[in-house]
């Protein structure tokens, strides 16, 4: 049975498209029951509509504060039947009321190798800092920004002359691979928390107690991802 997920976007939705593509290819055991945006008219919503997916947008300006907004958003997402929430370029810092409602059931994709370079414009931060490796991270969401337990990371080289745009494009290509992979592990029930650590059952039929694998930088992606 496919697990219902809500995907939250704020912009073009290229990571949303990667998730849609893997679902339509039959390699991701999920069903998108809602695409939600905190901005009206973004291309991510158009992508969803082209695939016949339900959409909803709400803007902060219509609410008294962040908590009120998040309570309303929570009501919409619960009403969609979603069991997992995926932040795919969602530029809104979730309040505790939302995080607690979906504890350990919210995933976020961030364009750096966390815990380095959290926050906005991470691609530019990495290019300007002079690191030799940049990358991206899928992690569980907690009450702190870009802080939750890490599920999977992928690294890309930083090349001479790289700027925010060129490095960001290289990072984005890996985001499109590791986000669907992380979702698949979670919906298959293969992800387990051990404090801040995350372990992933190597395959969905293996004995969890005897066959664990940590997924760190550039892990072996499974077929289709």
Catalogue the active-site residues.
110
Strand-strand pairing, 84-87 and 106-110: parallel
Gap between the terminal Cα atoms of the chain: 20
DSSP class of residue 208 equals G
Residue 97 sits at φ, ψ, to 5 deg, of -60, -35
Q: What is the DSSP string of 81-114?
A: T-SEEEESS--S---HHHHHHTTT-EEEEESS-T
Check if the beta carbon of residue 162 is closer than 8 Å to that of residue 175: no
Alpha-carbon distance of 201 to 106, in angstroms, equals 19
The two three-digit tokens of residue 181, written as one number: 């992979």
Max CA-CA distance within the chain?
A: 52
Angle between helices 164-187 and 122-129 (to 10 degrees): 130
């Amino acid at each position: 049975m496919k697990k219902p997920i809500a995907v939250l976007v704020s912009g073009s939705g290229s990571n949303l498209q990667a998730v849609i593509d893997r679902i339509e290819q039959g390699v991701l055991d999920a069903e998108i029951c809602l695409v939600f945006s905190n901005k009206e008219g973004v291309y991510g919503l158009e992508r969803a509509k082209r695939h016949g997916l339900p959409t909803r947008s709400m803007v902060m300006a219509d609410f008294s504060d962040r908590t009120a907004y998040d309570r309303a958003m929570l009501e919409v997402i619960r009403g969609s039947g979603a069991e997992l929430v995926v932040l795919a370029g969602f530029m809104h810092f979730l309040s505790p009321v939302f995080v607690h409602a979906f504890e350990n059931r919210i995933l976020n994709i961030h364009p750096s190798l966390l815990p380095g370079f959290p926050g906005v414009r991470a691609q530019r931060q990495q290019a300007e800092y002079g690191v030799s490796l940049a990358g991206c991270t899928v992690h569980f969401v907690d009450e702190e920004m870009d802080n939750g337990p890490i599920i999977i990371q992928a690294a890309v080289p930083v090349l001479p002359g790289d700027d925010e745009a060129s490095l960001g494009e290289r990072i984005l290509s890996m985001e499109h691979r590791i986000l669907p992979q992380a979702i698949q592990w979670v919906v298959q029930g293969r992800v387990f928390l051990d404090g801040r650590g995350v372990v992933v059952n190597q395959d969905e039929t293996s004995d969890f107690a005897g066959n664990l694998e940590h997924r760190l930088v550039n892990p072996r992606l499974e077929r289709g991802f």
